[in-house]
Structure 1
Amino acid sequence: MFYSLENVVRATDLSGTTPPSAEAILDQALHLVMLGIVERGERFAELCVGMRFRSAGGDAMRDENDDKKTLLDVICKLEHHDKYKFYHSRVVWILNELEKHAPNDVRSHRVVLDRTTTPQISAEEAKKRAAKARQEAIMQQMKAQQASFAINLDDIGDEEDELMEEIDDEGGEQVSFGTCIVCQEDLNSSRGFGALSLIQPSRLLRKQPDIPSSYLNEVLTMKPSLDRSYSSTPTKFPPTQKEIIDSAKQNLAPNFEGFPSSHTKFGLHGSVCTHMMHLECFQVYSISIRQRHRAQATRNHPENIPRKEYICPLCKSLGNVILPVTNPSRTVLNTVPFADWIRAAGISILKSKPDPLMDSLQFKNGTGEFVFWGVQDPGYALALRNPDRWGDVDTAKMLDTLMSVCKSFSQQTRHLRDRPEPEAGDRGAGVYLPEELIGYTIAGIEVAQRGVNVDGGGLVVDNLTEAQMRMVRGLLVCLSRLSAMQFKGRVDEGRDAIRQAIIKRLLPEWSRITLTSFSYPLLLRDPFTILVETAAVAPEMIKHILILTYYACLARTVIGLIYILTKTRSFNTPYLASRSHEEVFGDVRMFFMSVVRHSPIFEHTAMLAFETFGEARIEKLLYQFTLPFLRRAAILCRSILPSAFPTPLLPDNASASPQQQDEYKRLLDMLGIPPLADLPNQDTLQNALSGWCAHYGHSQAASQLNCGVVLEYPTIYRMARLPVVLDSLFGQQDKALTCQRCNTIPMDAAICLICGATCCFQSYCCTDIDYNERGECNMHTRECGGMIGVYFLVKRCSLLYLNAGNGTFALAPYMDANGEVDISMRRGRRQYLHSARWEDVRKTWLNHGIPTIVARKLEATIDPGGWETF
């Protein structure tokens, strides 16, 4: 211990810089010292004070005790060393503990700094103190002016008082968001900082298949609440003989009950790793990453610099953007009754003057979307050339990184997006951020929480982490900054104009009066996207927009359901004897007919659907297909205004009715939305619904075979179903292991756990020779999961994770009777599917954690690459 500390300190003093291995040596040496104090405090203190060692640079001809030091001498010298301030707290603790056993020796050797002398201040620190002094002087002057103004004018208004209070709060103590993981300094408004985040393309969200009817049966047999865990008693491991026999009878061919990849929805998903960093520190860290890539040119690095990727220095998570960090909004919700608010909004629209700039910033195809939220919008590049439009420079830098990353993904994925959008080069081209980034991210969070139990009878929003809500707020800040760039000359940065444009899109009667042309029916748009747009620019009216978008979601679901039911046989679906949610939906048949009455074809089809399926089953479908919208709206509202949307108290089980305990009713109470059963008393909602349905009924979409509305898959997402016993894959079930590309049984099979397809693992028969000799697993990943892939390698009994040309192996969810993993089945013991490990694989996929797992494995090793051949 003595020579470890002495050599490091001496080498540092001679060279003026810290040796390369200094931190590791000091960590280990100080840890041993602390162990000695804890285990043998008194005896160890005697050795530290009494035992002397010859210094490393001592002269052998000098007296024996002249150049000898104790361990206490070296520790005292390390306490105030300029190069090792990071270890100061540990050294102070060591000296304080030694002082308890040898107080005189420690006090005589310990260096006590003179606090009376003024330390030398650096130029940078002097500038900071001078700026702080000027700020305090300005604030004192403002307070003095405020006091004199209050004396002269006794009738000062409440609004002005609130404004000055906000100014006082801003001038006071700065709010800290934690510490930077690099420099360990506070994260506050004095320096720009952000949260480390990853934006990745995703094909997680699923669309409801029309056929076969088994998918519709899953919806009909769902539990009424997705925030409760309905799992039965834990599965025994190893399984019983009866379970093994029952599983052997199940037919897993041809795709192991996997979900078809053709019914997935593309989007961009955002995630955070909970760590934050100053922008200056991040620039230095990025330079170090580039230096590592140059120094290790032959290594397959975990991050890709052209894609702006990096590894979090603390948790080793993959990232490619930094998002702004803000506190929840202090906006006060508009408490005007819904009918009065709509009337006032319509009057303000009538009184407003035409806004040619706002009209030019909306899509020409009549959808009501805004061009400045398209990532390939050429107007953004023009705004970047004018620094006056940037606003906050730090936020502008983070926004530019986000836009460049999203633009790169957008240019490569136009064929995967179903939304009508302008051509490349036109205003508004590319991924639409409110829908395909923020909306998709919130949808991904909601899907991952399905079937997860909420403690204490809460809602899905009570399971959200602070990092997830902070990420949603950061993405909304980016949206508001993009809109502000287009209205830089206006005082409110165009918020009032965008708010009126959103209201015009939702209120068709006011749109007709003001001659606003929306040729695209509202029911063909995702209502949740409009809610996201409102949260970005006008959060004060989100409670009223919630009501409108919810009823738009109901009408849209009616259209999608009729289209699905026309292709489904009623005798293949489970029978429901009676309705269960009459208190929420009221007269379901009347609502369906009012939605489709403007299209004779749809009206006739709806009548046949009710005669065939009955009200009970149709009500159940309406319940389950609209529940995800309420869950996502709750996540959005809790993220931006947590105090305005608290979780309602759950009644006691003894007195609560089944409808009150259902998640649907609890979400309606939280969001303040009147149920559909109360629609006869809502004249304003009836007018809005009539306008939306008439617009859709008279459009071309209603007369086509495909109604234009595709519903999302509302149940809990499952992966492909693997057999309980691994032996089943080598017996009668081997016909399931047939490669669809070469129509042969692979020598080494890989099962895609997302869709259940079988691929040839590293086989020459299925290799893309024209594209870097990619293996079939990589080829299938592009068609199925996008950038990520999860495969079970049958003969190797292991998992394969793929992400953007990289990959890694992981332990399979199979274990023998002793709970041990048998990689490549070398021991030959029978393998059983372990339910807990299988659930971990599913959670990793649902939470978009595969890129981080691959990056962590590659970061921990010197990987040579070659994953594209798998």
Structure 2
Amino acid sequence: MHSKILTTKPYTDVWSHITGIGLTEQSNSVSVYLKDVPLLLRDPTAILIQLILTLPSTIEKEHYQLIVKMLYNVIFIQALVSTSCKFTAEEREAWRKKGRPVPFQTLEGMLSHVITRLEVSRLYDDIDMIDKDIPAICQSVWSPQSVDYAVQDYCLPFLKTASLIRFHLFEEEFPPPKEDATDFQILISYLGLYNGFDSSSATCLNWLIEEPMTLTRLWCSELVNFINEQPTDSKSLLMYTPTWHPPQLIVLPHHYYKIFQSYNSRQCGMCSSVPKDPALCLVCGQYLCFRQSCCQQQSSYECVHHSVQCGAGTGMFLLINSSTVVVIRGPRATLWGSIYLDDHGEEDRELKRGKPLFLSQERYNLLKQQWLSHSFDHSCKRWIWHLDRL
């Protein structure tokens, strides 16, 4: 099955895009990109998303599984490189010797190969200098099990994203997890990387070529050349651990007068005039004209058009002259209320009372929670048809 897939378009291009093998002058944009950034410094999750958006929408499950298998090989070698940066010089030498007599496709064999290839670079220079100042009793000892756990942790973000994409594309439910199964084992089983229960990170490798050592040597050689030219940048990328943050609304000042003074007389970036009723997008912070036709685009006023461009039809706008928040949800809109209250916890809509207003973090968190959970339709009761005139 795999040989048939690899001999058809566009999956031969996928293999060349990932490995860097077989690129011709007809793919200059790809070859230049791979030359500038070695594959072992690229983000496999970003590559996966890029390939899914590039390939036909009728991609088969087997094709997707093949792509994930190829990218898992990449992130596995990345994990070995990153883990080796945590070794002392003595540990690296011990692992290098330990992996010589064993087959290449074992954890020890591949880690030994990676260390041997990277020893000729400047990657480990700073690490060895730091280790000289650390007492031996404070240095960790890396066993095969601890290395395997470190590799699994490194691969987990990619496996989670790949599983979510698989579920979105094929609507295939997760199978019931086996007792005492780890997240890593559940994900690799779902993605078809390995179906055994007692699995390690190395058993999930699926090389689609006869000489994986040659391919790994190519990846390491590209990385060595890049490191020797830019050692500082490459080290920070290799040691980087991705941190995932949920979507956030913009940060607002505690005192409302700061917003009023900053935006009340500002010119609109679209029409270059001072809006009669200015608004501030709470998602991206863009300054907009509210209920004015001066910035009309495609028969829609600016805020309605911006809600489509910024939030796929959902937008939250703080009206500068009234301190209230308007929520646009598709063809409807509603007055959500104010996130700025006075000392007594009361709103001052239209700013008629002239009371000092302060940000209510509780209300702002509620607005964010309703936005993240897509619950405006249930929490807001008074909707109007805006007729694209907001």
Normalised TM-score (structure 2): 0.52
Which whole-Å CA distance do the structure 2 matches of 1:803 and 1:354 have between them?
46
Q: Which residue of 2 aligns with 1:419?
A: 50
Matches within 5 A, 1:212-291: none
Contact 2:341 2:359 in 1 (8 A): yes
Cα distance change on mapping 1:553 and 1:630 into 2, 3 Å: farther
Whether 2:11 is the aligned partner of 1:363: answer yes
**Which secondary structure does the structure 2 equivalent of 1:419 belong to?**
helix
Listed one character per residue, the Cα deviations across residues 590-615 of structure 1 (whole Å, up to 9, x for unaligned) are 78x949968x9xx66x679979999x
Matches within 5 A, 1:548-559: 551=76, 554=79
Which whole-Å CA distance do the structure 1 matches of 2:326 and 2:88 have between them?
48
Q: Which residue of 2 aligns with 1:759?
A: 288
Cα distance change on mapping 1:671 and 1:805 into 2, 3 Å: closer
Listed one character per residue, the Cα deviations across residues 661-700 of structure 1 (whole Å, up to 9, x for unaligned) are xxxxxx6699799xxxxxxx9876899796775565689x
Whether 2:60 is the aligned partner of 1:429: answer no
Which whole-Å CA distance do the structure 2 matches of 1:612 and 1:721 have between them?
42
Q: Which residue of 1 aligns with 2:244?
A: 714
**Which secondary structure does the structure 2 equivalent of 1:807 belong to?**
strand
Cα distance change on mapping 1:776 and 1:365 into 2, 3 Å: same
Which of residues 794, 802, 811 in structure 1 aligns to 2:337?
811
Contact 1:752 1:789 in 2 (8 A): yes
Q: Which has the higher contact order (CA 8 A, sep 6+)?
A: 1
Q: Which residue of 2 aligns with 1:826?
A: 352
Cα distance change on mapping 1:640 and 1:739 into 2, 3 Å: same
Whether 2:87 is the aligned partner of 1:587: answer yes
Cα distance change on mapping 1:365 and 1:816 into 2, 3 Å: same
Listed one character per residue, the Cα deviations across residues 28-57 of structure 1 (whole Å, up to 9, x for unaligned) are xxxxxxxxxxxxxxxxxxxxxxxxxxxxxx
Aligned length: 292
Which whole-Å CA distance do the structure 2 matches of 1:831 and 1:822 have between them?
8
Cα distance change on mapping 1:596 and 1:419 into 2, 3 Å: farther
Which whole-Å CA distance do the structure 1 matches of 2:129 and 2:303 have between them?
44
Cα distance change on mapping 1:843 and 1:682 into 2, 3 Å: closer
Q: CA deviation at 1:810?
A: 0.9
Which whole-Å CA distance do the structure 2 matches of 1:692 and 1:698 have between them?
10
Q: CA deviation at 1:505?
A: 6.5
Q: CA deviation at 1:811?
A: 1.4
Whether 2:275 is the aligned partner of 1:746: answer yes
Which whole-Å CA distance do the structure 2 matches of 1:763 and 1:802 have between them?
16
Listed one character per residue, the Cα deviations across residues 203-228 of structure 1 (whole Å, up to 9, x for unaligned) are xxxxxxxxxxxxxxxxxxxxxxxxxx
| Residue identity opposite 2:283 in structure 1 | I
| Residue identity opposite 2:250 in structure 1 | A
| Residue identity opposite 2:289 in structure 1 | C
Contact 1:801 1:808 in 2 (8 A): yes
Q: Which residue of 1 aligns with 2:107?
A: none
Which whole-Å CA distance do the structure 2 matches of 1:836 and 1:623 have between them?
39
Q: Percent identity?
A: 17
| Residue identity opposite 2:326 in structure 1 | L
Listed one character per residue, the Cα deviations across residues 329-372 of structure 1 (whole Å, up to 9, x for unaligned) are xxxxxxxxxxxxxxxxxxxxxxxx88748965973522599xxx
Cα distance change on mapping 1:847 and 1:766 into 2, 3 Å: same
Contact 1:645 1:671 in 2 (8 A): no
| Residue identity opposite 1:429 in structure 2 | P
Which whole-Å CA distance do the structure 1 matches of 2:353 and 2:129 have between them?
57
Contact 1:553 1:626 in 2 (8 A): no
Q: Which residue of 1 aligns with 2:257?
A: 727
Which whole-Å CA distance do the structure 2 matches of 1:686 and 1:646 have between them?
23
Whether 2:174 is the aligned partner of 1:640: answer yes
Which whole-Å CA distance do the structure 2 matches of 1:778 and 1:609 have between them?
54
Q: Which residue of 1 aligns with 2:314?
A: 788
Q: Which residue of 1 aligns with 2:21?
A: none
Contact 1:750 1:760 in 2 (8 A): yes
Listed one character per residue, the Cα deviations across residues 514-535 of structure 1 (whole Å, up to 9, x for unaligned) are xxxxxxxx45xxx6xxxxxxxx
| Residue identity opposite 1:831 in structure 2 | L
Cα distance change on mapping 1:698 and 1:755 into 2, 3 Å: farther
Listed one character per residue, the Cα deviations across residues 472-514 of structure 1 (whole Å, up to 9, x for unaligned) are xxxxxxxxxx75xxxxxxxxxxxxxx39x946963xxxxxxxx
Contact 2:85 2:127 in 1 (8 A): no
Normalised TM-score (structure 1): 0.26
| Residue identity opposite 2:11 in structure 1 | F
Contact 2:340 2:358 in 1 (8 A): yes
Whether 2:327 is the aligned partner of 1:798: answer no
Which whole-Å CA distance do the structure 2 matches of 1:821 and 1:609 have between them?
58
Cα distance change on mapping 1:422 and 1:780 into 2, 3 Å: closer
Cα distance change on mapping 1:713 and 1:826 into 2, 3 Å: farther
Q: CA deviation at 1:735?
A: 8.4
| Residue identity opposite 1:749 in structure 2 | P
Cα distance change on mapping 1:608 and 1:786 into 2, 3 Å: farther
Q: CA RMSD in A?
A: 5.9
**Which secondary structure does the structure 1 equivalent of 2:325 belong to?**
strand
| Residue identity opposite 1:419 in structure 2 | Q
Which whole-Å CA distance do the structure 1 matches of 2:88 and 2:65 have between them?
29
Listed one character per residue, the Cα deviations across residues 254-312 of structure 1 (whole Å, up to 9, x for unaligned) are xxxxxxxxxxxxxxxxxxxxxxxxxxxxxxxxxxxxxxxxxxxxxxxxxxxxxxxxxxx
Q: Which residue of 2 aligns with 1:844?
A: 370
Q: Which residue of 2 aligns with 1:178?
A: none
Contact 2:280 2:317 in 1 (8 A): yes
Q: CA deviation at 1:765?
A: 3.5
Q: CA deviation at 1:821?
A: 2.7
| Residue identity opposite 2:174 in structure 1 | I
Larger radius of gyration: 1
Which whole-Å CA distance do the structure 2 matches of 1:357 and 1:632 have between them?
23
